[in-house]
Amino acid sequence: MPKPKQHDPAERMLNLLALLGNNAQPQTLEQIMDQMGAEYGSSDEGRRTSFERDKAALREMGVPISNIVLRGDAAGKTAYFLNKKGYGTLASQLTVDEIKALQEAAAMVQIDTEWGRRAVVRLGGVIDDHVGFGTMHLESGSLVLPELWRATNECRVVSMRYNAKDRTVHPYGLLSRDGYWYLGAYDLSRKEEVVFRVDRIQGDVVIGATQQAFVRRADYKLADAMPADAKLFDGADEQAVVRIDKVLALTVARELGQSGVILTHENGDIDVRVSCANRVAFRAWLFAMVDRAEVLSPPNVRQEVIGWLNEVASGI
């Protein structure tokens, strides 16, 4: 028996699209199969499976295939049509100048994937591969990022593994800061708002099927939810006074702002007041200056620092 002809799935999808576009009336699955049955095989189940796969693939590409449930003679049957309102709405809102600006942005910023550049091309822009004297590299290649973004934008519940624990969260926002991506979310098990570092999410994330599954707090801003100063992360605003050598004084004063400088010595050293609530972050900040910085007060923090140093010095 001759082997049935194998149809190229690409041709089948384009034919399906042409069929839906050429018919003014929505088409039921039976009507589609009447015309394209040979391409979809002989068994009813196989046809439906292939049709559903093609429909899903086309929708994923952005083809606005909509469906309605018919009335009258065909009552209860689902029919499919191309919803012309679903085409290129963002593209139609942007002016030529705005697209040019996005083009320039795509030439100057590297994000490790083609996602953004592809979007600019799709909007009608042209990517100039010539990079000028200024550029920015923003590591954004994780496949988890667009998934989290979609979940955030569509208010879908996210399940993920983080710090060896399974978490279910309501994602509120994504922020890139200091070379890392962060997800701000409401953690359903902890019952509080939490910030997660995206590169520490283990494995894939599972995005809930339901859109608008929760309401994001209207005034939520991730940048506000996440203190810029990691030393503040643990909440209580405990502070330490630290003496900084002249050689680092300008850098530290710039980092903390002039209000953080409480005394400038004649030799150029400065004393600064700095948050130390998060000891891990405080220690990383303090020891980055090695012996160019010394905790002066409060006594308990100074003793802690001496204790840490003794531990390391003795090789514990």
Binding to another protein (CB under 8 A) within 218-247 occurs at 221-223, 247
- Cα separation, 253 vs 262, in Å, equals 10
Helices 9-22 and 44-61: angle between axes, nearest 10 degrees: 80
Phi, psi angle pair for 199, to nearest 5°: -70, -5
> How is residue 170 written in tokens?
């309501």
Binding to another protein (CB under 8 A) within 56-95 occurs at 57-58, 60-64, 82, 84, 86-91, 93-95
Binding range to another protein, per CB under 8 A, among 110-118, 186-194, 257-265, 266-274? 110-118
**Residue 166 binds another protein, judged by CB under 8 A:** no
Residue among 175, 206, 225, 261 that touches another protein (CB under 8 A): 175
- Cα separation, 237 vs 17, in Å, equals 61
Would you say 252 or 277 has its CB closer to another protein? 252
Site track 89-108 with another protein (rule: CB under 8 A), x = hit: xxx-xxx-xxxxxx-xxx-x
Binding to another protein (CB under 8 A) within 252-291 occurs at 254, 283-284, 287-291
Distance in Å, CB of 71 to another protein, minimum: 25
Binding range to another protein, per CB under 8 A, among 44-52, 55-63, 256-264, 267-275? 55-63
- Cα separation, 236 vs 289, in Å, equals 24
With beta carbons less than 8 A apart as the criterion, state whether 221 and 248 touch: no
- Cα separation, 53 vs 154, in Å, equals 23
**Residue 315 binds another protein, judged by CB under 8 A:** yes
- Residue (of 155, 209, 210) closest to 185 by Cα position: 155
Q: Which residues of 275-284 are buried (b: 16+ CB within 10 A; e: fewer)?
A: bbbbbebbee
Would you say 54 or 160 has its CB closer to another protein? 54
Would you say 71 or 85 has its CB closer to another protein? 85
**Residue 41 binds another protein, judged by CB under 8 A:** no
Distance of CA 33 to the CA centre of its chain: 40
Residue among 67, 70, 81, 149 that touches another protein (CB under 8 A): 149
**Residue 46 binds another protein, judged by CB under 8 A:** no
